[in-house]
């Protein structure tokens, strides 16, 4: 029996001791049929990028389907050479020794000694090395199952049937441009599932948003109907610890329906939806306002009143922006607010805002933070501000009775831009943005959006 399979078997047992695959074998065989896999031909799934969510996603698949080694292969790529500092190695050692199942697993695999040596400073661990043992550098406190890690990008993707993009949006284009070089000889077209939440702005030929799925499409030439987005209100570590969660996989019906069924687990419900780009953009938008929420929490000593005032203002701005981006924005209210809520509670963007406001992090440290990964909201602040400040998108300001750029009706977005991108103001400025000297009810902003023909399909690259 291979290391780690004891844990898998335990998860798949009824309380009466009868083994139960929860229909996993049937779901795997059904997806294989949809993809036209012959007997003896492995279904190859490749994760690209090993941040918290990318690693958890691969681990969920490995836990569920890894036992069917004759039918599916699950591997994950991450760049080699990322050293684990001694403080993290010491923390990792504490986590290992607090979990008897993990400790026994490492001893069986003859891997425990290297963690002892790393704690003592006698050797250096590397991120790809510990990932093989089930430790994600951005999520040390949550041990995963052992993963099959590949550090050569060409090796992991060249014949993959399904590629899962776990990269930050800021790295997606570059990596998939490299991947496209390895796919020039391919006969079959792969399916790509993107987990990335972030956007870029482009101003030509008209101002528009570029999402990770669009970046992948342009970099590789893979048709957009073969590229899907999966997202939802979830925290990676809690999903792996089997907290009940849900997500949506968005894209063409041909693939999203069978993939939703394949990915669904008793504790992780996956719905499917046709609205790819808009859900993707909403995933990036909530990160913007999560940073501000973290700042407000830190600056007011977690004042419930201040946080609720901020929530009223930020949700009104998000609703205002969705009316620009979506023809039927009311359909997005639930997913957007739930995703925003979980990010405010425990997401890395809210944490980053807190640390910046407390002075425990500085903007000069960049937006890739050790132990947390990429803070996607920073680049999203710049992208949304740049887009919504374009005069060609002007809307009528009821109070001033003149046309203004949409960003002029989004004071929190403007303030975050001045703090994070221009660095003209200190984090304390976010509190001033809440003290609306015009005495306008946040509801007024929503009414403005609802009573005007705001929808700008060009923003999402549509005619």
Residue numbers annotated as active site: 286
Q: Rounded distance, CA 403 to CA 405, Å?
A: 7
Q: Rounded distance, CA 53 to CA 376, Å?
A: 13
Q: Which two tokens stand for residue 445?
A: 């902003």
Q: Rounded distance, CA 203 to CA 273, Å?
A: 29
Q: Do residues 161 and 248 touch, judged by C-beta distance below 8 A?
A: no
Which of 387-401 are b and which e, b meaning 16 or more Cβ less than 10 Å from the residue's Cβ?
bbbbeebebeeeeee
Following CA atoms 210, 156, 57, 225 in sequence, which dihedral angle do they give, to the nearest 10 degrees?
Answer: 40
**Rg (the chain; Cα; Å):** 23
Q: Rounded distance, CA 60 to CA 50, Å?
A: 13
Element spanning 404, H or E: strand 402-404
Find the DSSP H helices in 133-198: 153-157, 169-182
Q: Which two tokens stand for residue 53?
A: 């969510």
128: phi then psi, degrees, rounded to nearest 5 = -70, -30
């Amino acid at each position: 029996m291979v290391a780690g399979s004891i844990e898998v078997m335990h998860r798949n047992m009824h309380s009466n001791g009868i083994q139960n695959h929860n229909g996993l074998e049937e779901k795997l065989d059904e997806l294989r049929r949809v993809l036209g896999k012959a007997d003896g031909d492995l279904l190859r799934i490749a994760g690209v990028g090993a941040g918290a969510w990318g690693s958890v996603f691969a681990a969920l698949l490995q836990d569920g389907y890894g036992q069917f080694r004759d039918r599916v292969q699950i591997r994950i790529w991450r760049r080699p050479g990322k050293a684990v500092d001694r403080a993290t190695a010491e923390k990792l050692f504490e986590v290992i020794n607090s979990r008897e199942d993990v400790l026994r697993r490492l001893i069986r695999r003859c891997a425990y000694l290297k963690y002892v040596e790393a704690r003592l400073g006698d050797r250096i661990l590397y991120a790809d090395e510990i990932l093989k043992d089930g430790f994600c550098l951005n999520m040390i406190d949550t041990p995963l199952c052992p993963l099959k890690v590949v550090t050569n990008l060409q090796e992991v993707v060249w014949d993959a049937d399904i590629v899962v993009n776990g990269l930050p949006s800021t790295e997606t284009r570059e990596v998939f441009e490299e991947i496209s070089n390895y796919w020039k000889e391919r006969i079959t077209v792969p399916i790509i599932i993107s987990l990335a939440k972030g956007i870029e702005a482009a101003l030509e030929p008209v101002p528009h948003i570029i999402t990770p799925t669009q970046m992948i499409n342009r970099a590789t030439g893979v048709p957009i109907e073969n590229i899907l987005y999966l997202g939802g209100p979830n925290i990676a570590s809690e999903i792996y610890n089997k907290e009940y969660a849900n997500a949506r996989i968005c894209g063409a019906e041909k693939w999203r329906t069978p993939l939703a069924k394949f990915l669904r687990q008793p504790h992780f419900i996956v719905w499917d939806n046709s609205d790819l780009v808009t859900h993707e953009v909403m995933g990036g938008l909530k990160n913007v306002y999560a940073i501000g929420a973290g700042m407000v929490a830190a600056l007011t000593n977690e004042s419930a009143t201040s946080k609720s005032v901020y929530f009223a203002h930020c949700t009104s701005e998000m609703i205002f922006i969705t009316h620009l981006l979506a023809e039927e924005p009311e359909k997005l209210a639930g997913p957007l607010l739930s995703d925003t809520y979980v990010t405010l509670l425990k997401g890395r963007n809210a944490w980053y805002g807190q640390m910046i406001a407390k002075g425990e992090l500085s903007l000069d440290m960049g937006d890739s933070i050790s132990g947390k990964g990429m803070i996607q909201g920073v680049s999203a602040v710049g992208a949304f501000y740049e887009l919504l400040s374009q005069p060609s998108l002007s809307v009528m300001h009821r109070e001033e009775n003149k046309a203004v750029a949409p960003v002029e009706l989004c004071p929190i977005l403007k303030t975050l831009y001045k703090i994070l991108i221009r660095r003209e103001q200190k984090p304390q400025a976010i509190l001033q943005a809440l003290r609306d000297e015009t005495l306008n009810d946040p509801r007024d902003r929503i009414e403005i959006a609802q009573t005007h023909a705001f929808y700008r399909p060009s923003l999402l690259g549509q005619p």
